[in-house]
Structures are given as structure tokens and as C-alpha cells.
Amino acid sequence: MKKLSSFLSYGRQTISEEDIEEVINTLRSPFLTQGPKITEFEQAIADYLGVKYAVAFCNGTAALHGACFAAGIGESDEVITTPITFAASANCVRYMGGTVVFADIHPETYNINPLEIEKKITSKTKAIIPVDFTGQPADMDAINEIAQKHNLIVIEDGAHSLGAEYKGRKVGTLADMTMFSFHPVKPITTAEGGIIVTDNDEFYHKLQLFRSHGIQKTPYSNEQGDWYYEMIELGFNYRMTDLQAALGLSQLKKIDLFLERRKEIAEIYNNLFKNVPEIIIPKQLKDTNSGWHLYMIQLDEKISRKEIFKKMRELNIGVHVHYIPVYWHPYYQNLGYKKGLCPIAENYYKRALTLPIHPSLTNDDIEGIVSSMTSLIS
Ligand SMILES: *Cc1c(COP(=O)(O)O)cnc(C)c1O
């Protein structure tokens, strides 16, 4: 086991000279924000996915907030999501005053289990927020079927899954609205940034309003004069800047290369761990093509995850744990959610360990990580 000379993070951005160049060009342009780069970036994302509309936000969390606003979620509504996700997937419901309902995960894919969703539906259920955890799409056909039956809106949290596919269809084309995040650990980055894609005209209009104070130019504006605008909803300033959009445009050109490398890394891990009985490698469904945002292993019950985590970190290997079940957090505990609510998620959490995966990881890095891992557990 060799201690690395510098910390190797579980995920990070891959930035090229072209990316830097694009941002600098925008700095020299007349617009730092509300300029042409935003619409260019939105169009490029929409074209890449094959959807009608894309609305960029200052981060993925704001984008989810916008989607919940567009979906009309309010205080009397319940929204179903998974506990194995980043808190933002649930918090966005709380921003609108809605109630979060957690449905347990599938034990092998770690994604929300449609059978568990079905059990949680009440007359108050308004929407479902499935998360494509690790980059593997949730079971969207089954989820959409439930949504159709109960007249629910589906907001897919695709923070991990830009470019991923489900039964030959790209994530972004599978739900009423889909969110992508451009945080530096995510598939492509704009530093902070997020986007909602949709084919729905009404959602598109509401998303645009919401990210810019609820202000619009109205058909009456000519009566008043050209300065006139109206604030018709209580929106926010959730806009992306042109600097971010310029970086995003440049990054998007490399998405397929990034995804290819992530897949390669996952395959190397899978092969090296194949014959290690103490490690369960992540199961991929045949008809999904994961974005491999995270490489999650599960450790045998006999192994102390806490100990392995500590020793790996001492070697400068940035292992992590994704995620603490959302309702375990004190904020949700204070709202009355009890531990034990989703036993499969909790069992997963106790044994889960995240290993580094990002496009700039070298094969030597991976072999080093695996050999440290295997000597620590044997
Ligand atoms: C990163 C992430 C978000 C939030 O995105 P930000 O851009 O960081 O606000 C939401 N959901 C999931 C699953 C994420 O991983």
C-alpha cells in the first residue's frame, strides 16, 4: 500500500485549455450575464438530448426548485422521492411547502423501487422525483406508468446522468421535466449550474418566469412604453451567467469522451473486484447505459466500513459515502421522519463505499486504489 503524494478526490472536473479560452473570451465580451451564451448553451443541451426546451439555472438545486414551482407543488401536496440521494432532491419539495414522502430503493440498482412508490401513493400525491443514482437511470417506464395512472407529474433528478440512456432513449426525454447539475463533480461542469429540460410549453414558460423574479414583458407593454414589464409571480434571481454558459458549451463538446472514459474505469474496477468475495460491485441493468457518475461498492457485513474509510483516507484516496438516507438528517428527523422508514436504503447505506471515478483518473490510479482496497480487506 502506497500513500499518494496528493489527495485523490472521488470526483472532480476535467478542464482543458479550450475551456479556459472560452471563459476568457466571454470575459472580454459585452455580456457577463444575460447575454447570448445562455441561450446558446440551452439550445446545445436541448439539441444534444433531443428535447424542445432547456432553461438554465444558477445551480441544480435552484433548477429543482423551479421544477417544483412549475409543477404547482404546494402546501397540501405530497411528493415521492428516494432516500438515497443528495438532500436537494427532497428539499425542493419543502421550498414549496410540500410534504416529502420517501419510497424505498431496489436492493440491486439502489434506485427508487416503483413497487414502493405505488405503496406510498395517496389522494394528496402530486409528483414523483426519481433520481438516476450513480448515473444509472431509474426505472422510468414503470414510474411513468404509475404517474399516468394517478395523474402525477414526474420530475427526474438527472444530476448524475447527463448522457445516460434507458432502453435506448436519453435521460431528459423520459420525464415531464428533468434536472441536470453542472457542479464540478458532475458529468460536465459550469462551476455552479443546473438546467431543466422539458417538452411542455407551460412548464417552460413558468421555469423562465421563476428564475428571473417572476417578471415578464406583457402584451400591454406597448401601451405603457418599451420600459414596461410586469412581475406576475414571486420568482427568484436564479439565473446562470454567460461565463458559466461559455464553460458549459465548451464542456458539452467533450461529454461523450467523458462518458466513455467513466465507463472504461467502471469496467476496470469491475474486473479487478470480480473475484473479491467481500466486495459487491454495482449491478447494471442490461437495458440501461449508465453515466457512471459514482462507482459504489458494498462491503461484506463482516468488514468495518468505518475502518476501511479511515485507512483509505490515510493513503490519500478520496473514498466517500453516497448517501446518508435523507430522512436521517436532523432537519427531517425534526419533522417527524423515523429511522427504519426505508430498511433496504438503510442497509445499503451501512455498507456502501464510493471509490474515485472521473475522466482524468489514470489506469495506474485505479490499480493503486484496488490494490490498497484488497489488501485492507484481506
Ligand atoms: C448535485 C446534486 C443535486 C444538486 O445540484 P447542485 O448543482 O449542486 O445544486 C441534486 N440532486 C443530486 C442527486 C445531486 O447529486
Q: pLDDT tens digits for 342-370?
A: 999 999 999 999 999 999 999 999 999 99
Q: How do residues 148-182 score in pLDDT, each as one tens digit? A: 999 999 999 999 999 999 999 999 999 999 999 99
Q: Are strands 78-81 and 125-129 parallel, antiparallel or unpaired?
A: parallel
Active-site residue 283, yes or no? Answer: no
Nearest-atom index, ligand 1, CA of 62: 9
pLDDT score of 52: 98
pLDDT score of 222: 67
In Å, how far are 57, 160, 201, 374 from 183, measured between CA atoms? Answer: 12, 10, 27, 31
Cell numbers representing residue 93 in the block:
419539495
- The CA 60 to ligand 1 mean position distance, Å, reads 5
Distance CA 177, CA 196 (A): 6
Residue nearest to atom 5 of ligand 1 (CA): 60
Substitution candidate for ligand 1 out of 89, 196, 321 with most atoms within 8 A of CB = 89
- Ligand 1 first shell, C-beta below 6 A: 59-61, 85-86, 88-89, 131, 157, 159-160, 181, 183, 194
Which residues are bridge partners to 127 per DSSP? 79, 153
How crowded is the C-beta side of 12, counted as CA atoms within 13 Å? 11
pLDDT score of 333: 98
Give mean pLDDT in consecutive 10-residue pieces for the chain, a chain of 378 residues.
Answer: 91 97 98 97 98 98 98 98 98 98 98 98 98 98 98 98 98 98 98 98 98 86 79 97 98 98 98 95 96 98 96 97 98 98 98 97 95 93
In Å, how far are 72, 93, 96, 316 from 76, measured between CA atoms? Answer: 11, 11, 10, 48
Residue nearest to atom 10 of ligand 1 (CA): 88
Would you tell me how many other CB atoms lie within 10 Å of the CB of residue 274?
9
Nearest-atom index, ligand 1, CA of 85: 13
User: pTM for the whole thing?
Assistant: 0.97
Would you tell me how many other CB atoms lie within 10 Å of the CB of residue 321?
16
Nearest-atom index, ligand 1, CA of 64: 10
Residue nearest to atom 6 of ligand 1 (CA): 60
- The CA 228 to ligand 1 mean position distance, Å, reads 36
- The CA 157 to ligand 1 mean position distance, Å, reads 8
Q: Which of 186, 253, 302, 306 is catalytic?
A: 186
Substitution candidate for ligand 1 out of 12, 93, 183 with most atoms within 8 A of CB = 183
Q: Where are the beta strands (DSSP E) in 103-255?
A: 125-129, 153-157, 165-166, 169-170, 177-181, 194-198, 215-216, 230-231
Cell numbers representing residue 45 in the block:
443541451
Nearest-atom index, ligand 1, CA of 181: 7
What single-letter amino acid sits at 343?
P
Which domains does the chain show, CATH number per domain? 17-252 (3.40.640.10), 255-377 (3.90.1150.10)
Residues 6+ apart with CB under 8 A from 123: none
- The CA 52 to ligand 1 mean position distance, Å, reads 23
- The CA 72 to ligand 1 mean position distance, Å, reads 21
- The CA 160 to ligand 1 mean position distance, Å, reads 8
